[in-house]
Structure 1
């Protein structure tokens, strides 16, 4: 009589939520720090208009907004993202006037532009700052959220955790057995390494309009800030019992 074929046996992985002398645990932290060039420069443009007449103020603000947008769009794909933020048009009352007479109207528009070609950044910022009643803040340097640099930093952090764990195990004359848990404990992603000379301060707040056309100003020499990228993980392992 032929015996039925023997079924292969499978071993179910044993979980060890608590450390024991037979399954000691080891917890380590893995870290990685990279310093890379930025991918994006972000500038903020604030357009201002003031006047005694509300409609005239609004017309002036609309004209300055159109001028700034046309200038930004003339750089094509160099300006990767362009968005309009807060629009404000508010009356200002005459001080100490109980009848609440409107003294003037004050309007502002905020624009945000992100550039990927830093060779034209100095030229664009100076041309924007040269516009009437226009303020430029920036640039702030950053990486894209999808930048492969973040993935590279995370991989290096994991490799650092495994290396540290193996070193501890070797110090006990044993080896790692299994990974129990891996936790991403990174508290920050990417930040500029140092503050540039241009920094985040205003480039220029221009004065009254002029009828005289002048050539474009000399472009600013802007040096990109290096970006500091950090990644951190916590890893828990089991070890083969060491002979102490």
Structure 2
């Protein structure tokens, strides 16, 4: 009966096959691919039906306006909806003074010229608030692959420099660990770009405001890899 013996691997290599461990990093700054805005539409009425009808009408107006921009709009979604009573104390009890309705839309666009125009036109609507823009890359953007590739190349160059400093060369790759990549410039804090529109029901529509001139925020993408190589034994 024979017993096999396995020599445990050492993370530090051996004199015959020394190892070098390095970290490769890459940082790319690129233009954003999409921009988003958040639209909050409000309504107030003395009874629930009036508030709901006004909210439905204003929501339809905003949706129709956004849809006129066609392919410039990549995503249009309805988020939170609410309608709730405003209570007031009268005598010994509480009574409903009014009803408040609110619906929230989110829009993502790829045409940043259209973004400035749409933002201005939306903020001209009744009781409509526009927050944004925030800038981002698509999750499938090729920029992430470019950053990872650059990080791997940087790791190889760094390991080769260490080997050459010892008068030797790299032999084989043992491990390549991806630390992930991240976009550090994506802004999702919804800064206010325009406030509530001042046009109330029954008032004459004001002259159209000029489109906002919006400068896209550059996006920074980081990628990191850890790599281990073996080297030919150096002559020390």
Q: Is the 8 A contact 1:129 1:203 kept in 2?
A: yes
Runs of 4+ that moved beyond 2 A = 15-18, 95-100, 186-190, 206-211
Q: Which runs of 5+ in 1 are unaligned?
A: 1-14
> Relative to total residues, which structure has the larger strand share, 1 or 2?
2
CA distance in 2, matches of 1:97, 1:57: 26
| Residue matched to 2:180 | 186
| Residue matched to 2:83 | 89
| Residue matched to 1:62 | 56
| Residue matched to 1:243 | 235
Number of aligned residue pairs: give it. 226
Matched position secondary structure for 2:185: strand
CA distance in 2, matches of 1:233, 1:210: 62
Residue 211 (structure 1) shift? 2.6
CA distance in 2, matches of 1:186, 1:201: 32
Residue 175 (structure 1) shift? 1.1
**For each residue in 1:55-103, what CA deviation from the matched residue of structure 2 results, as whole angstroms up to 9, or x when unmatched?**
1000010001000000000111111110000101111211586523112
CA distance in 2, matches of 1:231, 1:108: 41
Residue 209 (structure 1) shift? 3.1
| Residue matched to 2:207 | 215
Decide which moves more: 90-99 or 112-121: 90-99
| Residue matched to 1:4 | none
Q: Is the 8 A contact 1:142 1:190 kept in 2?
A: no
What is the alpha-carbon root mean square deviation over aligned residues?
Answer: 2.0
Taking a change above 3 Å as real, the CA distance of residues 121 and 20 of structure 1, as seen in their structure-2 partners, is same
| Residue matched to 1:48 | 42
CA distance in 1, matches of 2:17, 2:91: 82
Q: Is the 8 A contact 1:44 1:113 kept in 2?
A: yes
Matched position secondary structure for 1:20: coil
Residue 190 (structure 1) shift? 4.7
